[in-house]
Amino acid sequence: MKLGTLTGTGETATVTGFAIDHRKVAPGTVFGAFPGARLNGEDYIAAAVAGGAIAVVARPEAVVEGAVHIADPAPRRRFGQIAARFFAPFPDVAVAVTGTNGKTSTVEMVRQLWRMAGFSAASIGTLGVTTGDDRVTTGLTTPDVVTFLSNVAGLAREGVTHVAFEASSHGLDQYRSEGVAVKAAAFTNLSRDHLDYHGTMEAYLAAKLRLFTEVLSGDGTAVVWADDAHAADVVAAAKARGIGVLSVGSAGETLKLVSREPTLLGQTLTIAAEGKTHVVKLPLIGAYQAANALVSAGLVIACGGDIAATLANLARLQPVRGRLERAVIAKSGAPVYVDYAHTPDALDAAISALRPHVGGRLIVVFGAGGDRDQGKRVEMGRVAGAMADVVFVTDDNPRGEDAASIRAMVMAGVRHATEIGSRREAIGAAIAAAGKDDIVLIAGKGHEQGQIVGDLVLPFDDVSVAREMAV
């Protein structure tokens, strides 16, 4: 494709691809040079041109010699828009999900509901790019813009017509999912996370709101979990653009959750919609999974799905990997669950989900990630201390930080906890402590397959370790 076709200029050079890392530039590439969190991409412009870049999208003040300078004060956005024209076409229907917790679960449930409705569907997020028969990990929740656009276009080539993706706050802030028309966008909730990157809760919320103020199509629909304290901010942002709102939850108007009764293996939901009452036997436990199921139904309905059929399909949802996944039943009879709770609010949600199912004690094992928001650590300790009966504090991806210092910050929030650095040993100790009426919750890593220590990723899977320790 010609550069002029993509940029509206008269340039006749042929574009062969797009890159935001100069090491991935080949002859004919359009290079995006952006100031980042660690480095400044503008420092690599000369190297990119030497490598064959024919155009550089960068701020007006950047120096570009030997290639076309596509100057824009918001270069990430401009780069995404131009790249999208190159990578298109995309699947007919795309929806996005933002929120502190519940994005992965929701996009996965949307994918399942679309599949049940007969569509070829995919999801993109923390678990990777998932289709009916394949899953490929990308390493990030919202991949970088080039990976994102090429993946979405690749799905369309494979015949996928419906795609649901996670819009992380980092991804929104860095315009990683620019250029794909978003038909419906959902907000799950907002609570403390990622303050290392965003600085304040206000900035964190602002990044998430961009999904509704800029990314969502003008004729799209905002799907909002109405029970969250920040739902009103999202509704206001949507309404300011004249965008329709579909609200779900106890305070929801479109799908109103009238009641929720835990059962042995799931829960019974009574939902009022358009004057009718629907009773759904959801095969997943916990208020949080009910919330994600309703948000996912809202997204499907916002894209034209029939209300009754979509709600009925919730009864056939499969569990999401690493989200309240029952790993094993210990020799004592205690069930052991693995969950991806890595924020204070998520830990609360995971413990609350299990509480109705515990006759004895709820035993939790968890830690907090290194090189991430430090302030959430003590709060996670507080939640575990207040809500669980027995607490083990251990390591969860210390990355570049000293693991013992991270644990100390968590321990500061909880009075009676046992600290065991080795995650394997901590899981073993928790399972050994459990009696037949107890439940063990291993939180924080969910589906993850490694423990990140320094630059090393040591193979580690909570589910397999739990199984090993349960015999």
Ligand X SMILES: Nc1ncnc2c1ncn2[C@@H]1O[C@H](COP(=O)(O)OP(=O)(O)OP(=O)(O)O)[C@@H](O)[C@H]1O
Ligand Y SMILES: CC(=O)N[C@H]1[C@@H](OP(=O)(O)OP(=O)(O)OC[C@H]2O[C@@H](n3ccc(=O)[nH]c3=O)[C@H](O)[C@@H]2O)O[C@H](CO)[C@@H](O)[C@@H]1O[C@H](C)C(=O)N[C@@H](C)C(=O)N[C@H](CCC(=O)O)C(=O)O
Ligand Z SMILES: N[C@H](CCC[C@H](N)C(=O)O)C(=O)O
User: Whole-number minimum distance, CB 288 to ligand X, in Å?
Assistant: 4
102 binds ligand X, rule: CB under 6 A: yes
CA geometry: angle 95, 97, 102, nearest 5 deg: 140
135: number of Cβ within 10 Å: 12
Binding positions for ligand X, 233-292, rule CB under 6 A? 288, 291-292
Nearer CB in complex with Mg ion: 141/292: 141
CA angle 130, 131, 137 (to 5 degrees): 25
Residue of the chain from 144, 214, 253, 419 that contacts ligand Y (CB under 6 A):
144
d(CA 66, CA 55) in angstroms, rounded, equals 9
* 199 binding ligand Y? (CB under 6 A): no
Interface residue with ligand Y, options 18, 44, 87, 212 (CB under 6 A): 44
How many residues bind ligand X, per CB under 6 A?
A: 23
Cα 34–175–94 angle (5° rounding)? 150
Query: Is residue 225 a contact point for ligand Y (CB under 6 A)?
Result: no
Minimum CB–partner distance for residue 59 and ligand X (Å): 29
Give 76 or 278: the residue with its C-beta nearer to ligand Y.
76
In a 3-state reduction of DSSP, which class is residue 370?
Answer: coil
Query: Binder to ligand Y among 71, 140, 153, 195 (CB under 6 A)?
Result: 140
Task: Give the residues across from 268 on adjacent strands.
Answer: 261, 281
Binding to ligand X by residue 373, rule CB under 6 A? no
Annotated ligand binding at 398? The verdict is: yes
Of 39-47, 78-86, 99-107, 377-385: span binding Mg ion (CB under 5 A): 99-107
Q: Which residues, including other chains, have CB under 8 Å from residue 165's CB and lie 6 or more apart?
A: 94, 95, 96, 97, 107, 123, 124, 125, 142, 148, 152, 177
The CB-of-230 to ligand X minimum distance in angstroms stands at: 12
Site for ligand X in 113-172 (CB under 6 A): 126, 141, 166
For ligand Y, the binding residue among 5, 9, 26, 36 (CB under 6 A) is 36
CA distance 259 to 254: 15
Residue range at the interface with Mg ion (CB under 5 A); choices 126-134, 153-161, 360-368, 395-403 = 126-134
191 binds ligand Y (CB under 6 A): no
Cα radius of gyration (the chain): 23
What 3-state DSSP class applies to 215? helix
Residue 101, marked binder = yes
Is residue 415 within 8 A of residue 385, CB to CB? The reply is yes
Residues that bind ligand Y (rule: CB under 6 A) add up to a total of 20
Q: How many chain residues interact with Mg ion (CB under 5 A)? A: 5
Output b/e per residue, 145-162; b: 16+ Cβ within 10 A: bbbbbbbbbebbeeebeb
Is residue 287 within 8 A of residue 298, CB to CB? The reply is no
- 399 annotated to a ligand binding site: yes
Among 22, 78, 103, 230, binds ligand X (CB under 6 A): 103
Nearer residue to ligand X within complex by CB, 438 or 462: 462
Given the complex with ligand Y, which of 37 and 471 has the nearer CB atom?
37
Q: Is 99 in the site for ligand Y (CB under 6 A)?
A: no
**Binding test (CB under 6 A) with ligand Z, winner from 183, 372, 377, 447:** 372
Instruction: Name the strand (E) or helix (H) holding 366.
Output: strand 362-366
Asked if residue 174 belongs to a known ligand binding site, the reply is: yes
Instruction: Assess 188 for contact with ligand X (CB under 6 A).
Output: yes
Instruction: State the Cα–Cα distance between residues 189 and 452, nearest whole angstrom.
Output: 28
| Residue 103 in the binding site for Mg ion (CB under 5 A) | yes
Q: Minimal distance in Å, beta carbon 12 to ligand Y?
A: 26
Of 1, 170, 166, 178, give the one whose Cα is nearest residue 72: 178
Exposure string (b/e) for 47-59, b if CB count within 10 Å is 16 or more? ebbebebbbbbbe
Site residues (CB under 6 A) for ligand Z, limited to 432-451: 444-445, 448
Cis peptide before 398 (omega within 30 of 0): no
Binding partner at 348 among ligand Y, ligand Z, Mg ion, none, C-beta below 5 to 8 Å by kind: none
Write down the least CB distance from residue 341 to Mg ion, Å: 12
Do 82 and 4 meet the contact criterion of CB atoms below 8 Å apart?
Answer: no
Beta-bridge partner residues of 222: 185, 245
User: Do the beta carbons of residue 172 and residue 197 sit within 8 Å?
Assistant: no
Distance CA 144, CA 170 (A): 10
**Which residues here bind ligand Z, judged by CB under 6 A?**
141, 342, 369, 372, 396-397, 444-445, 448
**Which residues here bind ligand Y, judged by CB under 6 A?**
20-23, 34, 36-39, 41, 44, 126, 140-142, 144, 168, 170-171, 197
Binding residues for ATP: 99-105
**Which residues here bind ligand X, judged by CB under 6 A?**
99, 101-105, 126, 141, 166, 188-189, 288, 291-292, 323, 339-341, 345-346, 349-350, 446
Binding residues: 99-105, 141-142, 168, 174, 176, 372, 396-399, 444, 448
